[in-house]
């Protein structure tokens, strides 16, 4: 907890960095690459222009999540960032759905190194390490990107504080990191990064979302799904829930303030109301900003309302619904 508090102080006053090189990355080339992804993913990829980005989902025909992706439009090609270890499998999956389209899919995870910089002075520190203009970086929209030699810089939405990824060829990684640290960036842990993510109510695939999750349960309608684009895989289920079911799903992913415990409850800890289990914790961390433990967890739809109080397993702690994830 002390380490997280110290690192949190660093990023609120300056900026911290964390390695993101292990995340999977797929490259899409060919004249039909954009149209191909438009038909596969939930968000509007056709509307992207060079330097734009979008958060999207790949679904099964039953509307369950296969993966989430961040798609960066890099001009003549598209780069999709996916979960760690998923690059090769997803490249094969996309490859198997190509029929006559002019599209080439490559797992380029090893072709890039990535460092995420988070903090109040993140734009200034990234500018000093890349020779970009600080004001230009600070004014970037989330998921937008700017080219640099041997790579690009992308604005991310990893935290409430400003955050960027510097994505470069592996041989440039050490030099970029040295420049960031010379400018004052300090390493932060995965635990601190996770606390920032939960504070920002961002679900992580493989943690807060699985292959059984319907996007609406995780609150991803506004961020990941276009309701005006044409067909995509799984769209029928999403439309049916929205229009016939009034958007009602069996459970909702909520943000919880945990009261009466300094320890983060483990994933899978039951959330109960009286003698009835309503849901379970998916991720939790101590938040220096809130000065208590915060968590993400699913509750039955009838219990998922701001202000609802639930018990946290057998810890004796209570949690209050503070909002919804997404």
Q: How far apart are CA 46 and CA 18, in angstroms?
A: 31
Report mean pLDDT in 10-residue bins for the chain, 326 residues. Answer: 83 96 98 98 98 98 97 97 97 96 98 98 97 97 97 96 98 98 96 95 97 96 94 94 82 95 92 96 93 96 96 93 96
What is this structure's pTM? 0.95
Q: Which residues contact 299 (CB under 8 A, 6 or more apart)?
A: 251, 252, 254, 271, 278, 279, 308, 310, 321
**How many folded domains does the chain comprise?**
2
79 neighbors 26 (Cβ within 8 angstroms): yes
- The pLDDT value given to residue 245: 67
Is 149 found in the same domain as 9?
yes
- The pLDDT value given to residue 1: 59
Domain region containing 261:
250-326
SS3 assignment, position 203: coil
Is 132 found in the same domain as 14?
yes
Domain-embedded: residue 44: no
Domain-embedded: residue 238: no
- The pLDDT value given to residue 316: 87
Domain-embedded: residue 87: no
Q: How far apart are CA 283 and CA 296, in angstroms?
A: 5
- The pLDDT value given to residue 243: 85
Is 306 found in the same domain as 162?
no
Domain-embedded: residue 81: no
Domain-embedded: residue 274: yes
Is 148 found in the same domain as 14?
yes
Task: Please report which residue ranges of the chain form alpha helices under DSSP H.
Answer: 2-13, 33-40, 87-96, 122-130, 134-138, 173-182, 190-199, 221-224, 235-239
Domain-embedded: residue 158: yes
Instruction: Return the CATH number at 277.
Output: 2.40.30.110
Is 11 found in the same domain as 116?
yes
- The pLDDT value given to residue 247: 76
């Amino acid at each position: 907890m002390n380490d997280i508090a110290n690192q949190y102080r660093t990023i609120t006053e300056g900026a911290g960095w964390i390695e993101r090189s292990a995340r999977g990355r797929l490259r899409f080339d060919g004249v039909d690459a954009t149209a191909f992804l438009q038909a596969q993913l939930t968000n509007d990829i056709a509307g992207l222009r060079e330097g734009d980005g979008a958060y999207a989902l790949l679904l099964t025909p039953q509307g369950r999540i296969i993966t989430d992706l961040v798609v960066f439009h890099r001009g003549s090609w598209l780069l999709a960032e996916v979960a760690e270890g998923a690059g090769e499998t997803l490249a094969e999956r996309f490859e198997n759905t190509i029929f006559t389209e002019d599209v080439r899919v490559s797992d380029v995870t090893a072709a890039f190194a990535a460092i995420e910089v988070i903090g109040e002075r993140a734009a200034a520190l990234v500018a000093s390490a890349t020779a970009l203009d600080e004001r230009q970086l600070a004014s970037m929209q989330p998921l937008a990107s700017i080219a640099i030699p041997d790579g690009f810089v992308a604005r991310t939405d990893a935290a409430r504080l400003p955050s960027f990824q510097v994505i470069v060829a592996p041989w440039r990684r050490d030099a970029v990191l040295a420049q960031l640290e010379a400018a004052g960036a300090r390493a932060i842990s995965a635990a601190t990064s996770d606390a920032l993510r939960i504070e920002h109510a961002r679900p992580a695939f493989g943690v807060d979302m699985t292959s059984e999750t319907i996007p609406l349960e995780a609150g991803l309608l506004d961020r990941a799904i276009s309701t005006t684009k044409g067909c995509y895989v799984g769209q029928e289920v999403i439309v049916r829930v929205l229009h016939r079911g009034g958007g009602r799903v069996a459970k909702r992913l909520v943000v919880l303030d945990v009261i009466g415990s300094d320890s983060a409850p483990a994933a899978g800890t039951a959330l109960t109301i009286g003698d009835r289990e309503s849901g379970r914790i998916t991720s939790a961390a101590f938040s220096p900003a809130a000065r208590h433990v915060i968590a993400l967890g699913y509750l039955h739809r009838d219990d998922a309302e701001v202000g609802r109080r639930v018990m946290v397993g057998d810890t004796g702690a209570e949690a209050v619904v503070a909002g919804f994830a997404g």
